[in-house]
Amino acid sequence: METSTFPIVLVGAGNLATNLGCALSRAGFPILQVYSRSQESASALAGRLGCEATTNPEKLTADAELYIVALKDSALETLLPEMLRGREERFWVHTAGSIPLNIWERVPGVKRYGVLYPMQTFSKARLVDFRSIPILLEANAPAQMNLLKEVASTLSDNVREVSSRQRRAIHMAAVFACNFTNHCYALAEKLLAAEGLPFEILLPLIDETARKVHTLPPKEAQTGPAIRYDENVIQKHLDALSAEPKMQTLYRLLSQSIHEAAREKLKGKK
């Protein structure tokens, strides 16, 4: 059965909005308009999607069926009344991991609202394949949930209905698994660059570490000096980081956390 399509407005033109807008357009949904506070960003994405660009939230068209808001949290809260004024009857969703469903209730008269949260890391310069991306949904009524499932299923084979509390937990877990991990990559690159070494030397290790957790629980996949608390190795590393006190502190805290997790695991086996 073919999915019926309908017009959509994108409120936002950043990394997520770019990837989501392009994916929806490829799936046959007409994008009517792109909003961004930056004319450059709005025009760039609108140009890719063949639609109108605007930087004025009050100039959003009222002709779309679905309005997808992909803004940073503070901007969403600030712009909410302006965006919805005169468009309260339309279906509104946001894409944030940490904002609850009930934020829409701050605007009187809004009847149809929800959340469409694609759980992935996005960049404008790299469009991703949505088919395996978890798309997490929440809505204020069954009719809205059914419509969101219909839209999300055209993009992904991994569509789930979750609560605001569950989505917040998923978002926090994603920060640890992605954002913090990527920051550690950046720190590793800095250490290597200081010795004239390329970051690429770590790529086989990074790839194998990621592959392992497809078949092993992360606790079982953990290796390295911290898990056995090899004080000799750890102290040498800490000494070598004396000129980088923040990295030194991070190294110590992570090593302690890894070792404590290993001890808890051993206790659980007794």
User: pLDDT digit of tens for each residue in the chain (270 aa)?
Assistant: 356 789 999 999 999 999 999 999 999 999 999 999 999 999 999 999 999 999 999 899 999 999 999 998 888 888 888 888 889 999 999 999 999 999 999 888 899 999 999 999 999 989 899 999 999 999 999 999 999 999 999 999 999 999 999 999 999 999 999 999 999 999 999 999 999 999 999 999 999 999 999 999 999 999 999 988 899 999 999 999 999 999 999 999 999 999 999 888 777 665
Residue 128 has which token pair? 């991703």
DSSP states of 17-47 as a string?
Answer: HHHHHHHHHHTTPPEEEEE-SSHHHHHHHHH
Residue 29: DSSP 8-state: P
Domain(s) labelled CATH 3.40.50.720 in the chain stretch across 8-162
Instruction: State the angle between helix axes of 245-269 and 181-194 in degrees (0 to 180), rounded to the nearest 10.
Output: 130
Domain(s) labelled CATH 1.10.1040.20 in the chain stretch across 168-269
CATH class of 168-269: mainly alpha
> What percent of the residues of the chain are helix, what percent strand, and what percent coil, each to the nearest 5?
55, 15, 35
> pLDDT value at position 107?
86
For the entire predicted model, the pTM comes to 0.89
> pLDDT value at position 1?
38
Q: Is 224 helix (H, G, I), strand (E, B) or coil?
A: coil
> pLDDT value at position 101?
96
C-alpha closest to that of 65 among 45, 46, 42, 90: 90
Topology classification of domain 8-162: Rossmann fold (3.40.50)
Count of CB atoms within 10 A of residue 123's CB? 12
Nearest-angstrom CA–CA distance, 67 and 54: 14
CB 240 within 8 A of CB 261: no
Q: Is 170 helix (H, G, I), strand (E, B) or coil?
A: helix
> pLDDT value at position 125?
87
Instruction: State the angle between helix axes of 15-26 and 39-49 in degrees (0 to 180), rounded to the nearest 10.
Output: 20
